[in-house]
Amino acid sequence: MLYRELKVPDAYEITPRQFGDDRGVFLEWFKQESFTDASGRPLELAQANCSVSAAGVLRGIHYADVPPGQAKYVTCVSGSVLDVVVDLRVGSPTFGQWDSVLLDTKDRRAIFLSEGLGHGFLALENNSTVVYLCSTGYNPDREHEVHPLDPEIGIDWPTIGADGRPLEYELSAKDRAAPGLIQAMDAGVLPRIA
């Protein structure tokens, strides 16, 4: 596995080594030992999630209160998504910055993001299936969101899907109503770096 730290500290792109033959492909998409060596920490596992989305579905930017926060290890097992991590940690030198990784069934990359970072993705084709390992379980009272189209963050979301057709973004009501980055900071709901 190859690990590359993203421009948002404490987030990594993971590219697995694939072994293919006439029967198909085998790969390890998570391995605790190499993960710990690369990131300097183990991944505690409390929950595993699966999300299936149509082309144009935009989910996020989601984060959880810190502590305990929620670290995520994410991959796409069918279709393709642009997966995005945003530094939402007030006091971080990269506060408000974002980076992205294309998750698809060609390179079969994964992305890891630590507690306090925001996460979102845009499905680039129908039936894009994202699975992720979480360090803590879902707790609706501790979960929050920042608007994924906030110009203050300025994420460069694709406008064309994997099939070459224009994408029409579809957001949940909760994500449409999410505050922008500055609004969330002013409300005191973002994680802080000590």
Domain of 174, in residue numbers: 2-19+27-186
For residue 31, being part of any structural domain is answered with yes
> What is the mean pLDDT of the segment spanning 164-168?
97
Q: pLDDT tens for residues 12-53? A: 999 999 999 999 999 999 999 999 999 999 999 999 999 999
Query: Which one of 12, 63, 73, 132 is the catalytic residue?
Result: 132
Please say if 63 is a catalytic residue: no
pLDDT at 193 exceeding the cut of 90: no
pLDDT at 194 exceeding the cut of 80: no
For residue 76, being part of any structural domain is answered with yes
- Number of folded domains in the chain? 1
Distance of CA 30 to the CA centre of its chain: 16
For residue 45, being part of any structural domain is answered with yes
Looking at the chain, which runs of residues are DSSP E strands?
2-5, 11-15, 18-21, 24-27, 47-53, 58-64, 72-78, 80-87, 98-104, 110-113, 117-123, 128-134, 143-145
- For residue 137, report the phi and psi dihedrals to the nearest 5 degrees: -80, 165
For residue 162, being part of any structural domain is answered with yes
Residue 86: CATH number of its domain: 2.60.120.10
Query: Which one of 12, 62, 73, 119 is the catalytic residue?
Result: 62
pLDDT bucket at 158, cuts 50 / 70 / 90? very high
Q: Which amino acid is at 148?
A: P
By CB atoms closer than 10 A (0-12, 13-18, 19+), residue 37 is exposed
User: Do 100 and 10 contact (CB within 8 A), yes or no?
Assistant: no
Q: What is the DSSP letter of 63?
A: E
Q: Mean pLDDT, the chain, as a whole number?
A: 97
Both tokens of 106, joined, read 């060609």
Please say if 62 is a catalytic residue: yes
For residue 155, being part of any structural domain is answered with yes
For residue 191, being part of any structural domain is answered with no
For residue 72, being part of any structural domain is answered with yes
Cis, peptide link before residue 179, omega less than 30° from 0:
no
For residue 55, being part of any structural domain is answered with yes
